[in-house]
Amino acid sequence: MRADKHVEIYDTTLRDGSQGEGISFSVQDKLLITRKLDEKGFAFIEGGWPGANPKDIAFFEQARKLRLKTAELVAFGSTRRAHTKAAEDMVLKGLVAARTGSITIFGKSWDMHVREVFRIELDENIRMIEDSVRYLRSKGRRVIFDAEHFFDGYKANPGYALKAIGTAYEAGARTIVLCDTNGGSLPTEVRRITQEVARQLRCPLGIHAHNDSALAVANSLAAVEGGATHVQGTVNGLGERCGNADLVPIIANLELKMERRCLPAGKLKEMTDLSRYVYEVCNLPSAKNQPYTGQSAFAHKGGVHINAVMKRPETYEHVTPSKVGNRRRFLVSELGGKTNVMLKAQELSIKFDKESPEARRILQAVQERENQGYQYEAAEASFELLIREVTGRRKRHFEFEKVEVSAENIGDKDSSSTAIVVLKVGKKKGVGVATGDGPVNALDKALREALEPFYPIVSRVQLEDYKVRVVDSKEGTAAKVRVFIEFSDGREVWTTVGVSGNIIEASWQALVDSIEYRLTR
């Protein structure tokens, strides 16, 4: 790729991303994500608004100790207040105190916002922009100017919008960022307006898009086509309302399909790792259908699709999964046929032809189980155990003699459940008795207690997620339920499934499969 096709990636996960509902970063979380973004080769990391809250002040103080290799830390804030001096403005003072080499400030470029929200004169807003940029430049800081609501402002009053960003550039801003703040613009508008601005204002342009119309990624790419060389967004599209532009598919599209270099060589294949890491720090479940990096992004279920992918992957895969650090998966269901079964077995080093008796027996077992309510495409650990069982390769690590669970004080705020598990490992007996917050928690604890003397590795297995689905709702309270349980040992994540008319029995099936899977591995 040519040097003139480089695009700066500016991450605002720590600031704009933290405004998403249900997201709250600790200072340590922000430091961890900063290190990870730097490892991946991002150009800019917006750390927050120093002075806005104690957490951001503490972050910038501690972040100065980080030895970043590729990224530049950026402080974010606003222009000075109306009818004040920039040198006396507390926001600008706080930005300077953060001691970052670059500072991003936002200012209004939509005349309606200036008149009806700020309720100040249009000329005063221009002076606010000019004074703020000049003041920060006088302190030796590089300035990035975010023109808030630029596309709405340009459509309403192009002359004033251009005057706002032209003033910022003339005052010394290094990059002018055009913002689609309410996320309502279309890609055709963004491309056209960016091109028009690029012709009239000879300066580096950037894009900051929100996803309220599900177009933030498309708008960011359209802006690059229009001349932008700086893209702002968040990892996984975190952010206020419907989120910000997701930098993960933006980077992948720019590098793989638009011949723009965003990251150092070799870093694109680490995008899946980055995406899942940020979800983990946010304590959010990964979006399985997330383009490029989601668990389902290269998952194939239909038999016809799988047959085609085995011959020519590009028939149903727009890029090679490994280029972004992901992998191809074949989902097992009654729709997939014997090819799915054969390919999944090969992953386990169990080899047989798709026309073999083993393939037919496994497919028959899957179809029978799915008819009962089981679902294996999201429970690959249970499917692996099923393959081993049908082919005679499943080892039983323990046998049960007794399993009991009782609930106490139902309806009481201090209600609890007690479980007893008695099992045998070879000729030795294991006993577990535990109290938990509900029957499933009690069973989980009792099972571990009984097994740990024989298999210490069980102590490292942690329950990550628990989901219940009704299989046949028309049966009312007598309906079967399907339980999915996700476990992790810190290195691998796996999911098992159980089905029964009794939710505790279904949960128990999934619990036992989870432990057996880990011991088999």
Whether the predicted pLDDT of 300 surpasses 90: no
Phi, psi torsion values for 212, nearest 5 degrees: -65, -20
Residue whose pair of structure tokens reads 């991303």 in the numeric block = 17
Higher pLDDT, 55 or 187: 187
Where are any strands of DSSP class E within 109-259? Answer: 142-148, 175-180, 205-209, 230-233
Could you state, in order of their start, the residue ranges of all structural domains in the chain? Answer: 7-264, 299-390, 399-520
pLDDT one-digit tens code per residue, 434-443: 998 888 889 9
Specify the pLDDT at position 3: 45
- The whole-angstrom distance between residue 467's C-alpha and the CA centroid of its chain comes to 20
CATH number of 7-264: 3.20.20.70
Angle at 259 between CA 254 and CA 263, to 5 degrees: 60
Residue whose pair of structure tokens reads 């951001």 in the numeric block = 56
Residue 136's H or E segment, with its range, is helix 122-138
Residue whose pair of structure tokens reads 């992957």 in the numeric block = 313
Rg (CA), the chain: 28
pLDDT one-digit tens code per residue, 73-87: 999 999 999 999 999
Specify the pLDDT at position 384: 83
HSE-CB at 460 with a 13 A cutoff on CA atoms is 10
Whether the predicted pLDDT of 473 surpasses 70: no
Residue 77's H or E segment, with its range, is strand 72-78
User: Of the candidates 207, 324, 319, which has an alpha carbon nearest to the alpha carbon of residue 274?
Assistant: 324
Strands 102-108, 399-408: pairing kind: unpaired
Specify the pLDDT at position 53: 80
Domain 399-520 has CATH 3.30.160.270: yes
Please report, for residues 46, 379, 456, the alpha-carbon distance to residue 509 in angstroms, rounded to integers and kept in the order given: 46, 12, 21
324 secondary structure, DSSP code:
G
Number of other residues whose CB lies within 10 A of the CB of residue 124: 13
pTM: 0.74
Specify the pLDDT at position 233: 98
- Cite the DSSP H helix spans in 227-337: 247-257, 271-282, 303-311
**Hey, what are 1's tokens?**
């790729």
- Contacts within 8 Å (CB) and 24+ apart, 433-438: 438/407
Residue 26's H or E segment, with its range, is none
**Hey, what are 280's tokens?**
């983990």
Euclidean distance between CA atoms 232 and 208, whole angstroms: 5
Euclidean distance between CA atoms 244 and 18, whole angstroms: 11
Whether the predicted pLDDT of 71 surpasses 90: yes
Contacts of 313 (CB under 8 A, 6+ apart): 320, 328
Length in residues, the chain: 521
| Partner residues linked to 208 by β-bridges | 179, 232
Specify the pLDDT at position 366: 77
- The whole-angstrom distance between residue 403's C-alpha and the CA centroid of its chain comes to 39
Euclidean distance between CA atoms 79 and 106, whole angstroms: 6
Whether the predicted pLDDT of 285 surpasses 90: no
pLDDT band with cut points at 50, 70 and 90 for residue 154: very high
Range with the lowest mean pLDDT among 153-167, 317-331, 464-478?
464-478
3-state secondary structure 206-217: EEEEECCCCCHH
Provide the 3-class DSSP secondary structure of residue 239: coil
Range from 49-53, 124-128, 332-336, 486-490 that averages highest in pLDDT: 124-128
Whether the predicted pLDDT of 19 surpasses 80: yes
Torsion angle (degrees, nearest 10) of CA 287, 291, 294, 296: 100
User: Of the candidates 278, 213, 277, which has an alpha carbon nearest to the alpha carbon of residue 241?
Assistant: 213
**Hey, what are 65's tokens?**
């100790």
Specify the pLDDT at position 410: 65
Longest dimension (CA), the chain: 88
Number of other residues whose CB lies within 10 A of the CB of residue 365: 17
Check: CB of residue 301 under 8 Å from CB of residue 316: no
